[in-house]
Each structure stands twice: as structure tokens, then as C-alpha cells.
Amino acid sequence: MATRQGASLDRKKLMADPIMVTTIVLLIAFLTLFILYPLAILLVDSFISDTGLTFDIFKRIFNIPTFKTAITNTLKVGFLVGILSTAVGLLFAYVEVYVRSNRFMGGLFKVVSMLPVVSPPFVLSLSMIMLFGKAGIVTRHLLGIYDNSVYGFWGIAIVQSMTFFPVCYMMFRGLLKNIDPSLEEAARDMGASRMKVFTTVTLPLLLPGIGNAFLVTFIESIADFANPMIIGGSYDTLATTIYLQITGAYDKAGAAAMAVVLLSITLIMFAVQKYYLEAKSTATLTGKASRQRMLIEDKSVRVPLTVLCCAIALFVILMYICVPIGALFPTWGYKFFPLTTKWFQLVFTRYKGFKAFKDSFVLSIIAAPITALLSMIISYLVVKRKFKAKGFIEAVSMLAMAVPGTVLGVGYIRGYSGGIFHTGFMQGIYGTGLILIIVFIVRSLPTGTRSGIAALRQIDKSIEESAYDMGANSLQVFTSVTLPLIKDSFLSGLVTAFVRSITAISAIILLVTPQYLLITVQINEFAEKGSYGLACAFASLLILVTYTAVALMNLFIKHFGTSRKIKEEN
């Protein structure tokens, strides 16, 4: 009864606050227009024709042999990438948490986990082609192999696994640190071997987390567009098939139906991961370790695992180093010396590099603070306020995480090229920089929202209530009390949003117009043409810009984030 009365009182206070009500209404409108509507229009285009409800479009696309092959290919790659990424991520996390290692290993792991975050999604594809392609350094020039082809199933699987396993590593690291060492040490005291302890104690505790990591990488893999486009060759996946259906066959209705199929797969997997495995993981691993873990020092365990992790980490780093080196070769595959800077010069003299970097940087720097602020507002409403539309706001803001970029791009084309529901309303945003900024915001919103929700749940409600009691309105409380307390999460969301925006390709490649030159689109274009020197030059400069921006933002966070004293207390 008291709980109901408290909730009723909270709702009355909310309705009496015009600023908060306006914010909620505008937020619902934004989420509806730019997340729900593009997805709804795909369903409308796929199922409704001039004669009414129909399945003819789906019948037509399923009669296309390449589409059925693309579905099979996508699922095969997704399962293999999920297994490989999960296994390698678990190996890295286990070595870091359980095995005694030196600072070099810690630094190596940190670099490997950071590289995919701040690099374009297709950098490893370029490296694989340059090292192991038909004119690759390793295959042709070192081993003398001429009939080898890195393109296709194995090329995509290896590149995606190297790209996504750091995500699994970060997930497992947190889970392993939360396992109480006394559980494993009790089994050791009873005579169990380390392998027996791992298989009977550690692994069962990790099973929900393993399932979670597998599904996350599976979703990332099947939604990936850039890597299959560059290294896939004739191996079609759903993301590339949808793109070619629009740009090659000019079949927008067919592309919409294909997008619905891909969206259905990702939504099912996302629902399982979000509402089943995450809940089980939370219930299985509770609290922090009761005391410090005794690290493994046995050479028979430590040396093989450390060597294996070092080999994988160094190979990944080598792959990233190949990109700037490849940009210095005069003619890739035939002439490697003397090194030259001609590709970098051509980027800025012939191929409008300044415009590409300016457009990408400006659009990303506009989108980043808006994304960070929206994320914090959504987090604040979800955690600190009670109202009927709260569940809608949380669910829709997180929905973008499960929507592949290609699907979202098709939804925006179908939804805004002729205006909302083809009425002409809001048609003006199509083909402009505004729609690109909106896509950047929508794609980065879930990450910032999750970070904000985690931070806000640590703040006691009484702190804000005392500000209300002193006469502050909701805007003043949010800006002067709540936001300063979560500014680390805000600034972290700002950095993440900027990086995700400037390195994005899958959602924007279908929406970008000649008015805007974006770096990632340029890299993809030159890689498709086989101009790997130019592609590497663009990619190297993009990595440099991204790293510099992240370093500057991290420096800003260090000086203007939460004080060291508060961090130590937390």
C-alpha cells in the first residue's frame, strides 16, 4: 500500500513539473521517429502492397538463390565467430585474472582490448589481404604460394574473430574477478587438479556469461557489413546482399524484406541474451571476491597459456601495424621499396582528403555530445523517475543495439526518402548531414545509456530529494546535482559516441550523398577497387585522428572528471 502511494506521489510530482513532462514527450517523439518508425516502415513495405496484406515480396526474395545462400552463410559465420571469439576472450581473461604475469602482459592485453574500439571496423580485412592475399607478403613473397585466396568464409571468420574477441575478454574479465577464490581453493584442498577445478567449479559459474558472450559476438558478426564487403569476395552474407539489392538491383522493396529477415534473427538473439542469459549471469555471480586470489605460478600452466596469449596478441597488433606500413609501399604486391609517401599526398591532393576528414570530424563531434546528453537523460528517467512510459523509453533506446546498421540504413531510406509514410513530411532531412548525425546518435545511444544507468544506480535518492526540498526544479537538480555526480559516465559516453561515429560505415554507407565525403566510405570504396595503398593511407590517418581525439578526451576526463578521492572511495 505504501509503495503504491509513493509511486502515485512520484507521478503527481512528475506531472506538476512542466520541464520534465516536456523532456519525456520530446524524448518519446525522438525515439519513435528515428528508431521505431524506420523499423515499422520496413514491415509495412514488406507485407503491404496496393492490394493489401501480402507475402509476395518474401516469396520473391526467397526464390532468389543468392539470398537463401546468404542466410546460410551468415549463420555459419556467426556461429563460428561466436565460438572462436568466446574461446579466445575466455583464454585472455583467465590468464589475466588467474595466472601470474608481468607488466608487459598487462600492457599487451590493454592494447589489444583497445585497438578494435578506436579503429575502423575493416582495418583487419585490409591487413589480411595484404599479408595473406594472392599478392600478399606472406603468401606470395615469403612462401611462394600463388593460388591461395584469403577471401570468403575463413577470411571473414578470422577477421571478425580477431575484431570481436576483445569484447568477450572484457566481459569475462569482470565475471572471473567476481568469483570467490575460496570456492576453487576448497576443491583444490580436496585433491582436485587445476583442470578438474576449472571444469567442475569455474566453468559452471561462467556458463551464463559464456552464453552471453557467444550471443553478443554472434549478433555483431551477422550484423557486420564492412568486413564481408571487403574480404568476403563471392561469399555473400545478409548485410552485403541487402546493400547490393539496393545499389545493384535497385530493388528497395526486396531490400526491405531482406532487412526484416536479418532484423528478425538479431532481435531473437538479442532477446535471449538480454532477458534470459543476462538475468542468469547476475544471479549466478554475486558480489565481489571475499579475498585476493592466489595466482597460478606453476610453469606447466603459466608458460603455455602466456605464450599462446602473447602470440595471439602480437599477431593482432601486427595486423594493425600492417595498415600504416602498407600505405608506404609504392605498388602493393609488386614493389615494396623504397618506401614512399605518395599515397598520403594523393589523399589530400587528388581525393579530397581534407574534406573527408573535415566532414567526418564535424558530424561526429556534433553527434557525440548530443548522444552523451541524451544517454544521461534517458538513464536519469529510467533510474530516478516513475511514470508509465518509462519501460517504453528504456526498451526502444536499447533496441538500436540489436538493429544491424544495414537494416537501419534501409529503414531510413524507405522512411524518409519520400517523407514520413510517403506524405512528404520531414523529407527535407533525407540526403543531408542531419540524417547522418541522427544515425550516429541512434547507433551510439544504447552504449551510453547502459553506462549511465549503472552510474545512477549508485547515487542515493535522498541527495536529489534534498535539492528539490530547497526549491530546485528538475532541470536545476539534473544539471547541478545529478550530472556532476555522473560526469565520468557522461564524458566516457562522449568519447565512445565520437569513436563509434567517426568509424561507422554500415548504417551510413546507404545514406551518404556526394555532398558529404566520409572517411570510412572512402576506405571501403578504394578497398573494393583494389587500391590498397590509398585505402591504407585513409585508414592510417583515421586511426591517428581517432587515437588523438581519444587521448585528448581522456586527458580532459582525468582533469575534470570525478576527484581522485571519490574514485578511491568507490
| pLDDT tens sequence for the chain (570 residues) | 445 655 565 566 666 667 778 888 899 999 999 999 999 988 888 887 767 777 888 888 888 888 989 999 999 999 999 999 999 998 888 888 888 777 777 778 778 877 777 777 778 888 888 888 877 778 777 777 776 678 889 999 999 999 888 888 888 887 787 777 777 777 777 877 777 877 787 778 788 788 888 888 898 899 888 889 889 888 889 999 998 888 877 788 888 888 889 888 888 888 877 777 666 554 444 445 556 767 777 787 788 888 888 888 888 888 888 888 888 888 766 666 788 888 898 888 888 888 988 999 999 999 999 998 898 888 888 887 777 888 888 888 888 878 888 888 889 998 898 888 878 888 889 989 999 999 999 998 888 888 777 777 766 677 766 776 676 766 777 777 777 777 777 777 888 889 889 988 888 888 888 888 888 888 888 888 878 888 889 999 888 888 887 778 777 766 665 544 444 444
Cβ distance 364 to 440 under 8 Å?
yes
How many other C-beta atoms lie within 10 A of the C-beta of residue 181? 16
Rounded CA separation 534/563 (Å): 44
Cβ distance 396 to 427 under 8 Å?
no
Burial of 161 (0-12, 13-18, 19+ CB in 10 A): buried
Residue 544: closest CA among 566, 568, 519, 562? 519
Per-position b or e across 92-130, b if 16+ CB within 10 A of its CB: bbbbbbbbebeeebeebbeebbebbbbbbbbbbbbbbbb
Rounded CA separation 210/388 (Å): 35
Cβ distance 301 to 99 under 8 Å?
yes
In 285-418, which residue ranges form alpha helices assigned H by DSSP? Answer: 299-326, 342-349, 353-384, 390-399, 405-416
Residue 240: closest CA among 133, 122, 322, 129? 122
Residues 6+ apart with CB under 8 A from 279: none
Rounded CA separation 309/99 (Å): 12
Three cell numbers written together for 114: 583497445
426 torsion bin: left (phi>0), alpha (psi -120 to 50), beta (else): left
Rounded CA separation 170/407 (Å): 27
The pTM for the full model equals 0.84
The answer regarding whether domain 55-326 maps to CATH 2.60.120.1440 reads no
In this predicted structure, what is the pLDDT of residue 281?
A: 52
Rounded CA separation 558/320 (Å): 27
